[in-house]
């Protein structure tokens, strides 16, 4: 089956989108997922229309004829090797996000590309687990306040720090990332009763804990959410800037960072 359209299971279909009405449906879906009242949601229909017409990737997931997920990506640097996935949103808990990423991977490989990049909030545990463990992607760069001020329900009240993440498409797509085995490690950030505690980073391997649920914490304890943002920015951002690499995500809660090649 071509990358333009695929079936994941009975009643579920993924296909590229072409019509303005389809892009309007995606805008409404994104607005509902991100909890924003903006008329165009996180991405207006006319922008998706232009991207698709120029040959970029805009695809939707339909379950029994109803749109339940979508992804938008465009060609990036280095040209000829990279697709940059700008936004992917899907209903939770049914494997739609993974199906979309695998469809996007097939689409990119069919065009001779070897990697897909995207950004995500490094504080969101489920996204870190999905990206690093499910897909085997790896953060490469810490981007402070990358999108400026955001006022949607997910990001509101916090700075829009992101990590630029790369997915090597030449690696097997078996649904699990490389193991995160490691020896003695320093705890660069420790989760202690819901608060971050900064520790040493003078070991070859550094663990960086994440909060249990940063999105809820932004609403219930903005001070604690701010503390987590600053702690992870300082430790993870600092290590990546020094040339360290993220090797895995341990126990669904901690980045595993290697300061030296292993």
Residue pLDDT, tens place only, 120-179: 999 999 999 999 999 999 999 999 999 886 665 565 567 999 999 999 999 886 656 666
Alpha helices in the chain (DSSP H): 20-34, 45-53, 96-110, 125-129, 214-220, 222-232, 238-241
Q: Please, which residues have CB within 8 angstroms of residue 132's CB and are 6 or more apart in sequence? A: 138, 139, 177, 246, 248, 249
Which pTM does this prediction carry? 0.90
The pLDDT confidence band at residue 191, using thresholds 50, 70 and 90, is very high
Distance CA 116, CA 122 (A): 18
- Domain map of the chain by residue range? 5-168, 186-258
Identify the CATH class of 5-168: alpha beta
Using DSSP, how many helices (H) and how many strands (E) does the chain show? 7, 13
What would the pLDDT profile of 23-82 be if each residue is shown by its tens digit?
Answer: 999 999 999 998 887 777 789 999 999 999 999 999 999 999 999 999 999 999 999 999
Q: How many CB atoms lie within 10 A of CB 136?
A: 18
Q: Six-digit token pair at 142?
A: 């810490």
């Amino acid at each position: 089956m071509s990358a333009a359209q695929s079936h994941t299971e009975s009643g579920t279909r993924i296909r590229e989108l072409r019509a303005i009405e389809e892009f309007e449906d995606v805008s409404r879906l994104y607005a509902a997922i991100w909890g924003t009242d903006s008329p165009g949601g996180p991405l207006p229909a006319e922008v998706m229309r232009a991207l698709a017409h120029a040959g970029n990737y805009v695809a939707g997931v339909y379950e029994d004829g109803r749109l339940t997920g979508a992804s938008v990506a465009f060609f990036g640097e280095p040209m000829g090797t990279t697709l940059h996935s700008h936004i992917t949103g899907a209903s939770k808990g049914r494997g739609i996000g993974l199906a979309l990423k695998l469809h996007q991977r097939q689409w990119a490989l069919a065009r001779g590309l070897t990697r897909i990049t995207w950004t995500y909030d490094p504080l969101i545990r489920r996204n870190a687990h999905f990206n690093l463990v499910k897909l085997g992607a790896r953060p490469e760069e810490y981007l402070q306040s990358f999108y400026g001020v955001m006022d949607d329900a997910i990001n509101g009240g916090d700075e829009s720090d992101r990590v630029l993440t790369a997915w090597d498409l030449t690696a097997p797509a078996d649904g699990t990332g490389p193991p995160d085995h490691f020896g003695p490690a320093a705890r660069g950030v420790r989760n202690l009763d819901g608060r971050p505690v900064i520790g040493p980073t003078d070991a070859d391997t550094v663990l960086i804990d994440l909060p249990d649920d940063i999105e809820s914490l932004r609403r219930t304890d903005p001070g604690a959410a701010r503390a987590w943002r600053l702690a992870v920015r300082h430790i993870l951002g600092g290590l990546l800037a020094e040339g360290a690499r993220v090797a895995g995500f341990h126990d669904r809660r901690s980045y595993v960072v290697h300061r030296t090649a292993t």
